[in-house]
Amino acid sequence: MQVENGNTVSVHYRGTLNDGTEFDSSHSRGEPITFQVGSGQMIEGFDDALPGMAVGETKNITLTPAKAYGDADPEAISDIPKASFPPEFDFQVDSMVQGQNQMGQPVLGTINEIKEEAVTIDFNHPMAGKDLNFEIELVSID
């Protein structure tokens, strides 16, 4: 049996950047992930790699930003006044912060720079603009 769109599958995977840095791995969590192929639960290129695979097969893929988290958008980087944060907030470069956009929806960002009156926050996905490498092992097809 081979994977087809619509199948529910379980896979083990290891994600790395081009420099070899591991950014995610189901192996380190000790259990595979399960999802429906073609349902939009996974990034496009990961989903696209599965049809045709058989249980026990391992595949290595490299995804460009267009098939992963997209290009980084310079418009998604903003200076936010420090006064917008609680008084006791500990500002640290590279730390993640959560807030709300103008429509009240939650947003996540990474502090890039700390200035006197503001902090520069990048609201792009942390993997935006990066090529991603995955080793995917098909564990089961339900």
Catalogue the E-assigned strands of the chain. Answer: 8-16, 22-25, 33-36, 58-63, 77-81, 96-100, 106-114, 118-122, 132-141
pLDDT at 102: 82
pTM: 0.84
**Residue-wise pLDDT tens digits, 7-32:** 999 999 999 999 999 999 999 999 99
The residue ranges of every structural domain in the chain are 8-70+128-141, 74-122
Name the architecture of domain 74-122: Beta Barrel (2.40)
- Mean pLDDT of the 91-107 span: 91
For 8-70+128-141, the fitting CATH number among 3.90.600.10, 3.10.50.40, 3.40.47.10, 3.40.50.620 is 3.10.50.40
- Mean pLDDT of the 46-61 span: 97
**Residue-wise pLDDT tens digits, 101-126:** 888 889 999 999 999 999 999 999 99
